[in-house]
Copies of this chain bind each other. A is one copy, B any other.
Amino acid sequence: MTRFPRLAAKSEIEEGVALAPRFDAQGLVTCVTTDAASGDLLMVAHMNEEALAKTIETGEAWYWSRSRQALWHKGDTSGQIQSVVEMRVDCDQDAIWLKVNVAGDGGFCHTGRRSCFYRVQPTGDGPRLRPLLMAEDAGGGT
C-alpha cells in the first residue's frame, strides 16, 4: 500500500508537490465528492490512509465508513461505482476533492436521491428545512 509522507513545514504542505495528507486524530481526512459532469455536490465522506491509497491506485472512490468502521468501496453492492475524473487536495492537506462519474443507475445517496444534499435551510429564519422537489434534486434524479 502506498504510504504518504508526513511533512512538518507549512511551506512544503501548502506549496509542495508531495501528497502528505494531514490525517486527524481518528486517522481520517474529509473527502468532498462532486459530479464531474454537472459539478453538483454529491456527498461528504471520510478516507483513512488505505482508502486514499486505494482510490489513487484504482481510480475508483474508496472511503472509510465511520458508522461501520470499515473500508468502503462505494458502489460495491449498489453498482454505483465512482470513477475518479480528477482528484485534488486543499492547501493544508486535510481535505480531498473527488470529481467522479457515477456508474449504475447514477444514484448516490442511500435514500435513493441523486445527492445527499436534498434539503434547503433558508437563512434569516428559524431552523426549518425545505425539502427539494424531486425535479430540483441534483441531476434530476433517475
A residues touching B (Cβ–Cβ < 8 Å)?
2, 4-5, 14-20, 30, 32, 34, 39-41, 43-44, 55-59, 84, 86-92, 94-97, 109-111, 113, 116-131
Given contact pairs A56-B123, A57-B124, A124-B59, A129 touches B44 in the complex (Cβ within 8 A):
no
Which residues of B are found within 8 Å of A4, using beta-carbon distances? 127
Copies in the complex: 2
The answer to whether A117 and B90 have CB atoms under 8 Å apart is yes
Which residues of B are found within 8 Å of A95, using beta-carbon distances? 44, 116-117
Which residues of B are found within 8 Å of A87, using beta-carbon distances? 120-123
Which residues of B are found within 8 Å of A117, using beta-carbon distances? 88-90, 95, 97
Closest 4 CB pairs of A and B: A19-B127, A39-B39, A90-B116, A44-B95
CA distance A4 to B34 in the complex (A): 28
Q: What 8 new A-B contacts, CB under 8 Å, besides A15-B111, A41-B97, A86-B120?
A: A2-B126, A14-B111, A16-B129, A17-B129, A19-B121, A56-B122, A89-B121, A90-B116
Which residue of the partner chain B has the closest CB to A87? B121
